[in-house]
Structure 1
Amino acid sequence: MAFRGLTPRQRPALWVAALFFLVHLPLLGLVELSGDESFYWLYARHLDWGYLTNPPLIGWVVAASTSILGDTVTGVRLGVLVVASLGVFALVRLGEALGGRHARCSAVTFFFLVPLSWLYGFMAAPDVLLAALVACALAATVTAWCTGRTAFWAGSGALLGLALLAKYTAVLPAAALVPLVVAGGRRWGWKAPAAWMAAGLATAGPHLVWLASNGAEPLLLRVAVHGHEEVSEAFAGHGLLHFLGTQAGVWSPVAAGVVLWALWRLLRSGTPRAPHVTAMALGTVLPFAAFLVWSPFGPVHPYWTSVALPAACGLVAVFLAGLPPARRRLLWWALGAQAVAVLVAGALILGGRPGEGYLGRRVRWAPGENRRLAARLRPLLDAAGPGALLATSRGYATVAQQAFYLGVPERTVALAPFGLAVQLDEWAAPWRGRNAVLVAPGSLDEFPLPVYFERCHPPERIAPARGRVYTAAVCEGYRGPARWLWEPAHGADPQAVAGSVYRALLGRPPDPEGLRSVAWALERGELAHLVWNIVRSPEYRTRFAGETPVATARRILAALGEPDADPARLARAVELLAFGGPHGLFLRLLDEHGGPAGLTPEVEAAPPAPPPAQEPDGASRSATAVLPAGTVTVTEARRPPGPAPSTV
């Protein structure tokens, strides 16, 4: 059962892995990169021991493959396909180590019939690396248990360390293997578990040091990302039901039933269970149990449970080896028929014209959309000048994909820094003051442009695919990240912030309900969204219909402690108002105060500033605001002292 050389017993595993690789290789470049894959390509251009939102292995693998094939779709995915092929090789060897030739065939056949594995060789994702490395670790551990060779114990630990560098959920299969490692220590001596643990820590050690040096912020950020805005659904039970429904889809009902049947038979059997078979059961149950517990408190993506797939294949292989041949054939026919049905349903949903399947269902399927969008953005990027940034106001997928197709990986920034976009925010910090092309799905109306840029040109609408609309604009003077817009403002005074918001936007003090809304928005990091909703409210439109831009700018400045702003300041506020709207101007001025935490009741109620003493009576000051439609001159005339002139 050892992996030395290429023995006749190992040749089937090699042939299966080679066939898997050769079948998937010509298909790698057929589909454009997804947003996540493009983001991992950005990782490859910023190599490090870790990232704010992911461990580093996916970036290393993509960097290795693109160094050979260049920045192409095939180049991004090739390295992950190589690792996935090694995982298939290990899966065949795992089945043979567990139960011989029949178990070997059962393990790999079950793997290929589970829908969760069908994208295994087509996409560059940490979950693919994780599943492949876990399969290798399981095969090495079972082989070490059977042979007692220390090299396999050390190899298993090193592979689990690499799996941790792919995704933090690798701790689940590692925990499942602990009883087997302990049993191996009793059987072969305690040198075996020592080698297992030492190799794992040595492999993952540099990343753990990096993680500790960053205050565990990346790990905490992952928890915050996946728990954001999902708690309300959790207590209604939606998260749990969604998890169960998606898992029934990606595993398929028949495959899920086979796994549950295998677990039931294992529990009901009266004979003592072998430790390596128990490890397969734990490797299947622990990930599902962990995600099941987490699902009420945050979303669980369907493919996360792929970490349990190698152990489930080993468990099913042992289970099917003990079934009568007639039942075994019946299960294989059921799994095969279900796989064909899923493939036909997928073809009906995704087929037909771009953006619409044969069944008439709207789907996010538009071949060539990213290339067409890149062709429309290229002139805007050239117009923005050399070294211009590529920015997005919504998420990270759009800007990561366009960075790939436009070839500007070093100059990308996401202006709504939550989730993976936080990493883009960090990378773009040195590029302040540069021009940028801002692109986002849908509209830019809600986004507070003045917070991030000094000036933006009128936006353009782009429709690269049927039913898909993007908005792009050339902006000048990137000001840097403003994470306070999207993060909870724990140090802010809700009463001071509410007073400024309501006086600036509605011209009145806040009512009790408004005060509660502002306090809730500060706790959730939703102040920008609240301000946008106020500007769109019927009360705002009724109160300030027909108001001039100068009057709007003066009102907002006064609410933030500048009731007597000079003409230059007022003209600049009118310019910001022209491309950012009232909500953008308010948030820009709030950003200049240091965010919500910089507002105090004293700032809110600042007294009018006295006029400059050196100006003669009756003098006037003026400034010009440059707007897209022309210029506006803002003049402040000072009345001489004495009684006011009579009005006729």
Structure 2
Amino acid sequence: MSVIPASDSSIWIKRFWWLLAAVFIVRVGLMLLFVNGADLIGDEAYYWDWGRRPDWCYYSKPPMIGWMMGSIGWLTGNAEWGIRFAALLLGTATLVIIHRLALVLFDARTAFLAAVLVLLTLANAALNLLLTIDAPLLLCWTLGLLIFWHAAQKPACNLRWLALTLVIGFGTLSKQMMLAFPALMLVFAAFSREDRPLLRNPRMWISILLGMAFIIPVLRWNQQHAWITLEHTKHHFDTSSLGFSRWLGRTGENIGLQALIYTPVTFAALVAAMIAAVKLRRQISRPVLFLLLASAPALACFALLSLRQRINPNWPAAFFVPAFILGAAWLRGVSPFRLHPGWERWSLRIGGALVLLAHVGLVVILTTDLKAIGKLADMRGWKEAGIEAQKFLDRVPRRENTFVMALGHRYSAAEMAFYMPSHPRVYRWEPSGTVLSQYEIWPGPEERIGSDALILEPGSYASLAQNEVFTAAFEKIEFLGTIRVPLGSQALEFSVFLGRNLKNWQPVHAGGK
């Protein structure tokens, strides 16, 4: 391990905090611009709706994101900026812990480089703007790595194992991926000669068992709901046979996406660092072994899985955290690696160029008419549509006895629930009669028999009055008008109906019961 004088170490630590402060200020400005120029993405609005009904689990995820959204909504009055600011705080905290972990394992300059490499990725930019389940998972995962390392240094300290228990537990309540963390601990203890006594340390086993015990309420909830989360997760691994050209294209797409979000040269450096550590496995230090075992085996499994099916770019994100620190050590020439100044320069240059281009492009798009094109168009118009839907709701004859129902994708129900000023409880109709979202798990319109319904159907065509499900369920269906929000060459459109006096409704049950 390279040794840096204390004075030099202090300089690099100060540089990190100055850099972090500057980046935070810039990102606050970008966050405010984002709030002003784009609405919540569908998943954010969906998780926010979860937060209004706290539970031990939801359709596809453990409860932490719902609990967080509920707390944010309560603290900020359901403000968009509250959700965006929470993402920024979680992303910043994760970066601080990454720097701290690299500092503990190596030295201040390597820690600074690790933090900069992470900062100069598109993945980190997105993590600090959008609040999804990956934000709390990465915070817990990174903190877990740091605390486990400290616990391994002082294995008789009960407080460190208790802290690790809580981190594993809260991480497990954030995303199922955290269940892999105890396996990482055991693998390191088995392969590190100095740490094999941990396998006989009851504190580690108690920490693992109690941390994983946090999943019990989640399992209990799933047992009561036909194991719907497991069924949903299984669909991620559905695959179909492909011809060689399509298989090659999909595999290239998986690799290309990872290289893009972690920047191409940096991604190549991370792979090279892991390969070098494997080749030098008899010479590497304990910190390098720790990072190698925390990253390479899992990433290799994802690489093999990508040969079989499409991989969502965020699935292996937690395992890239130790890979970045290992990559920084490789670039800096921490023993037994040799120095790679050329790799370091080009990693920073390419990463910096891509992130700068992405941020400048985002500013240009959000401040011009370009925000009406492409995927950003899906993040606009919901606020205006929600206000218009509220006007229809306020004009119905029985306002206090009228509920809101949205057809189409679950995002329509979630966005309307968030952006209608009264934040009504929005129901969703699933034509298949099966559970495809949290809206089918919650009680449906069957609990509103005798009420009227404001029904929002995507599109500008009035077809609902001819739908047999609705004509049989309501006494009468009336077409009230349309909502149309222009988005450049596109438009966000809904047809609005009033269903009078709901007579009956067939509930949806998980498992088809």
TM-score interval w.r.t. the shorter chain?
A: 0.7 to 0.9
1:479-504 CA-partner distances (Å, limit 9, x unpaired): 546659xx999xxxxxxxxxxxxxxx
Contact 1:92–1:105 at 8 Å: present in 2 too? yes
Report the Cα offset of residue 27 of structure 1. Answer: 4.2
Change in 2 beyond 3 A, CA 1:61/1:356: same
- Alignment correspondent of 1:71: 78
Contact 1:356–1:362 at 8 Å: present in 2 too? no
Q: Residue type matched to 2:345 in 1? A: W
TM-score where L is the length of structure 2:
0.80
**Between Structure 1 and Structure 2, how many residues are aligned?**
479
Matched, 1:335 2:348: yes
Q: Which whole-Å CA distance do the structure 1 matches of 2:264 and 2:376 have between them?
A: 25
Q: Residue type matched to 1:377 in 2? A: A
1:506-534 CA-partner distances (Å, limit 9, x unpaired): xxxxxxxxxxxxxxxxxxxxxxxxxxxxx
Q: Which whole-Å CA distance do the structure 1 matches of 2:107 and 2:29 have between them?
A: 33
Report the Cα offset of residue 318 of structure 1. Answer: 2.6
Q: Residue type matched to 2:352 in 1? A: A
- Looking at both structures, which has the greater relative contact order when contacts are Cα pairs under 8 Å and sequence separation is at least 6? 2
Report the Cα offset of residue 402 of structure 1. Answer: 1.7
Matched, 1:427 2:450: no
TM-score where L is the length of structure 1:
0.65
- Alignment correspondent of 1:136: 143
Contact 2:332–2:339 at 8 Å: present in 1 too? no
Q: Residue type matched to 1:280 in 2? A: L
1:464-492 CA-partner distances (Å, limit 9, x unpaired): 322124122213155546659xx999xxx
Change in 2 beyond 3 A, CA 1:270/1:412: closer
Q: Which whole-Å CA distance do the structure 2 matches of 1:169 and 1:417 have between them?
A: 32
Alignment of 1:46-195 (within 5 A): 46-148=53-155, 149-182=157-190, 184=195, 186=197, 190-195=201-206
Q: Note the residue ranges of structure 1 that are not aligned, 5 or more in a row.
A: 1-7, 490-593, 595-648
Change in 2 beyond 3 A, CA 1:488/1:300: farther
Higher alpha-carbon deviation: 298-307 or 311-320: 298-307
Q: Which whole-Å CA distance do the structure 2 matches of 1:443 and 1:389 have between them?
A: 22
Change in 2 beyond 3 A, CA 1:227/1:337: closer
Which of the numbers 458, 472, 480 marks the counterpart of 1:440? 458
- Tell me the SS of whatever aligns to 1:110: helix
Alignment of 1:47-446 (within 5 A): 47-148=54-155, 149-182=157-190, 184=195, 186=197, 190-224=201-235, 226=236, 231=240, 236-237=246-247, 239-269=250-280, 271-295=282-306, 299-322=310-333, 327-328=340-341, 330-344=343-357, 347-348=360-361, 351-352=364-365, 357=370, 362-365=374-377, 369-384=381-396, 385-386=398-399, 387-407=401-421, 409=423, 411-416=425-430, 422-429=437-444, 430-432=447-449, 433-440=451-458
Q: Which whole-Å CA distance do the structure 2 matches of 1:470 and 1:67 have between them?
A: 30
Change in 2 beyond 3 A, CA 1:170/1:372: same
Higher alpha-carbon deviation: 331-340 or 90-99: 331-340
Contact 1:161–1:204 at 8 Å: present in 2 too? yes
Report the Cα offset of residue 220 of structure 1. Answer: 1.6
- Tell me the SS of whatever aligns to 2:95: helix
Q: Which whole-Å CA distance do the structure 1 matches of 2:158 and 2:332 have between them?
A: 29
Q: Which whole-Å CA distance do the structure 1 matches of 2:112 and 2:33 have between them?
A: 30
Change in 2 beyond 3 A, CA 1:82/1:362: closer
Q: CA RMSD in A?
A: 3.8
Q: Which whole-Å CA distance do the structure 1 matches of 2:221 and 2:12 have between them?
A: 39
Q: Residue type matched to 2:167 in 1? A: L
- Tell me the SS of whatever aligns to 1:49: coil
Contact 2:103–2:111 at 8 Å: present in 1 too? yes
Change in 2 beyond 3 A, CA 1:212/1:252: same
- Tell me the SS of whatever aligns to 1:122: coil
Change in 2 beyond 3 A, CA 1:252/1:337: closer
- Alignment correspondent of 2:494: 471
Contact 1:28–1:73 at 8 Å: present in 2 too? no
Q: Residue type matched to 1:108 in 2? A: A
Matched, 1:449 2:467: yes
State the identity %. 18
Change in 2 beyond 3 A, CA 1:406/1:129: same
Report the Cα offset of residue 370 of structure 1. Answer: 1.6
